[in-house]
Amino acid sequence: MNIVPFVKRIEAAYEDLGFELGWRFLYGSASTLGPSTKLMFVGNNPGGDTYEAPTVSIEEGNAYRNEWWSAGRLGQEVRLLFNRIAEHLEPQIEGDALMDATLVANFCPFRSKNWNKFPKEKKKQALEFSHNLWFDISQHLKPAVLICMGNLSFYHFREVFFKRGFQINSSVRKATGWGNYEYTLESLSLGSNELMILRLPHLAQFRIISSNKCQAQSDEMIKTVANRLNKIN
């Protein structure tokens, strides 16, 4: 899949909208942007309150395990999530290998300290741009599982697949074990294409993967994801 046209669109929108903190497209290899990739992991937008040079992709291994911030809470939770999914795959693989084979990105490529700090006057245009970008990208993708970290990425990626014609077959909310917080598991389909979407509370705030009080709930969730991936192997 040719990544260049999408990168040029991001560059142009970044300049047109007057962003100043940089942008990031993929957190792993450009080779993950294609129909053979069966697992997607997405967040809202790149975090940071100082300028960082634009990043198209990371070819040396996924950013969640290789960059300086990967040792923090978010990086630890995400790596543990991939490790635990990998343990249930057939044949079993290392979590790092699964992460490197996953399409990892954000719905919106433009950086801000967090989504609440995203420039209000630019949010609408940034979301419209991101929706159109991912709608076009999604025409070339055939994921079996889409894991969304946070409500914004979940809502907007659902809208992308709805626009393509996907229909909901089932939608359930289940306890995470962390207070009253829940995760959402949905099954979508379009013809023979089936997609599982998992919405998680943001892992930078909620340690639902590592917390002992969440183990039973996270085990069930992780096995459900692994079973779906095993089904298409």
State how far the alpha carbon of 116 is from the alpha carbons of 91, 120, 152, in Å. 41, 9, 11
Average pLDDT for residues 67-82, to the nearest whole number?
Answer: 92
State how far the alpha carbon of 86 is from the alpha carbons of 10, 90, 96, 124, in Å. 32, 9, 9, 37
Those residues with Cβ within 8 angstroms of residue 173's Cβ, 6 or more apart along the chain or in another chain: 182, 183, 184, 185
Output phi, psi for 91, to 5 deg: -70, 155
* CATH class given for the domain over 4-232: alpha beta
pLDDT for 68 equals 85
Average pLDDT for residues 61-82, to the nearest whole number?
Answer: 93
The domain locations on the chain are 4-232
Confidence tier at 69 by pLDDT (50, 70, 90): confident
Q: What is the pTM of this model?
A: 0.97
pLDDT for 233 equals 67
- Mean pLDDT rounded to a whole number for the chain: 96
pLDDT of 177-199, one tens digit each?
A: 999 999 999 999 999 999 999 99
pLDDT of 150-162, one tens digit each?
A: 999 999 999 999 9
- Can you say whether residue 150 is alpha, beta or left, with left for phi > 0 and alpha for psi between -120 and 50 degrees? left
- The token duo for 131 is 């929706």
pLDDT for 71 equals 85
For the CA atoms of the chain, what is the radius of gyration? 17
Among the listed residues 173, 141, 144, the one whose alpha carbon sits nearest the alpha carbon of residue 160: 141
